[in-house]
Amino acid sequence: MSSDVIHVHLVLTAENQLDTPESLLTDFINFTVNLVCDFIQKTVEDFIHCHQHIRSYLTPQRLRFDESVTIHRGVTDFSGLLANIRADGGHHVCFLSGGVDTTAISFFEHGIAVVALPKLNRHYKELLSCGSVDELRSIGLGVGAALHEIGHLLGAFHFAQGIMSEHSNAISLCYGDKDGSAVEAVEPIPFFDNFSACLFACGPFLNCGNGPSQSLSVRYKISKDTVYIKCAHGILLIVIVKGTTYHDLKLYNDLPVEVTLRIREECWDLIQVYNAFHCVENVSK
């Protein structure tokens, strides 16, 4: 199941010219991972509290990250490294320090989230206590990037607002007010939208494995105006995606074994089915 520990990596590329000691980078990574974990956990708890009717279908567990950071030094073939990590199986977060352009490549679909580290010239604790606005903003944007990419890793898609928008940050989450007064140009505290919170709550990362996770249980039939879906294990959640953005989300309280979606074929690119055992299967054209 995807409820296995998420592995954490620090990737130092050959082009990396930073003089930052590795210990500063790994400390910042651990700070970021703990912050992300706590924030997502609180998001899920709040969502369940507001949607008590789904509690009986969940088997909650804490989101788990590896406590140690695996360091890859002098990396010249970033894509090759990711291929090797992917071949090991499981789920991974790679924090990247160095000049590699990843804007045109998406890794989270293959079990890997890639997060670019901000430039750190001092320990993050020192920066949070007495750093300049620009330094604090850099840390906030770095944490925001981690929240966004790890959100993708856990199953979330893009949303118009909040962390899963394409302009996310976590500046206020990191430090809020400085010396008792608001820091200039600080954006509102970030949030996960309800669609993403629902996916986290119902998905495999925050639920104990209790079913036949490897068996394919979804069958479907696509027509011009409908999608018929049958799932022997019961349907808990259906997510409809257009491009990389949510089109719709449907939560089923009675765990039906079959549903018919009234949706035109051009209105969706991917449909994900979460079954009663918190396993996810895709419906594609």
CATH number, domain of 265, equals: 2.60.40.2470
The CATH number of residue 154's host domain is 3.40.390
- Same domain flag for 194 and 251: no
- One domain for residues 137 and 258: no
Residues 158 and 223 in one domain: no
Judgement on whether residues 185 and 276 belong to the same structural domain of the protein: no
Q: What is the pLDDT of residue 119?
A: 86
Do 233 and 192 share a structural domain? no
- Three-state SS for 104? coil
Please state the φ and ψ torsions of residue 95, each to the nearest 5 degrees. Answer: -90, 125
Determine the pLDDT at residue 181: 42
Tokens of 20: 């930052």
94 shares its domain with 215: no
Count the domains in the chain.
2
- 172, 201, 230 - which closes a domain: 201
**Are 219 and 125 found together in one domain?**
no
What is the model's pLDDT at position 2?
A: 44
138, 232: one domain: no
Q: Is residue 206 domain-resident?
A: no
Q: What is the pLDDT along the chain (285 residues), one digit of tens a residue?
A: 344 789 999 999 877 656 678 999 999 999 999 999 999 999 999 999 999 989 999 999 999 999 999 999 999 888 899 999 999 889 999 999 876 666 545 555 678 999 999 888 899 999 988 888 888 888 888 999 999 999 999 999 999 888 998 776 676 666 544 444 444 444 556 799 999 999 999 999 999 866 555 567 899 999 999 999 999 999 999 999 999 999 999 999 899 999 999 999 999 999 999 999 999 999 998
Q: 243 lies in a domain?
A: yes
Residue 172 lies in a domain: yes
Is residue 41 domain-resident?
yes
At residue 189, the pLDDT reads: 61
Residue 1 within any structural domain of the chain: no
56: tokens are 């009986």
Residue 236 domain-assigned (yes or no): yes
Q: Check residue 19 and give its pLDDT.
A: 66
Q: State which residues form the domain around 240.
A: 211-284
Sheet of 258-262: strand order equals: 218-222, 226-231, 258-262
Q: Is residue 196 part of a domain?
A: yes
Based on the fold, state whether residues 146 and 81 are members of the same structural domain. Answer: yes
Angle at 149 between CA 35 and CA 32, to 5 degrees: 20
Predicted local confidence at residue 134, as pLDDT: 86
Q: What residues have CB less than 8 Å from 128, skipping those under 6 apart?
A: 136, 139, 174, 175
Read off the tokens for 150. Answer: 């790890």
Question: In angstroms, rounded to a whole number, what is the distance separating the alpha carbons of residues 202 and 207?
Answer: 7
Q: Which of 201, 228, 258 is at the close of a domain?
A: 201
CA-based R_g, the chain, Å = 20
Which of 150, 166, 201 terminates a domain? The answer is 201
Distance, in Å, from the CA atom of 39 to the CA atom of 163, rounded to the nearest integer, reads: 11
- Residue closest to 285 by CA, chosen among 271, 273, 73: 271
The secondary structure element, H or E, covering residue 121 is none
Residue 273 lies in a domain: yes
Predicted TM-score of the model (pTM):
0.89
Domain check: are 30 and 160 in the same one?
A: yes
Whether 50 and 124 share a structural domain: yes
pLDDT of residue 16: 65
Same domain, 98 and 21: yes
Q: Are strands 65-75 and 6-13 parallel, antiparallel or unpaired?
A: parallel
Selection from 120, 127, 123, 118 nearest residue 146 by Cα: 118
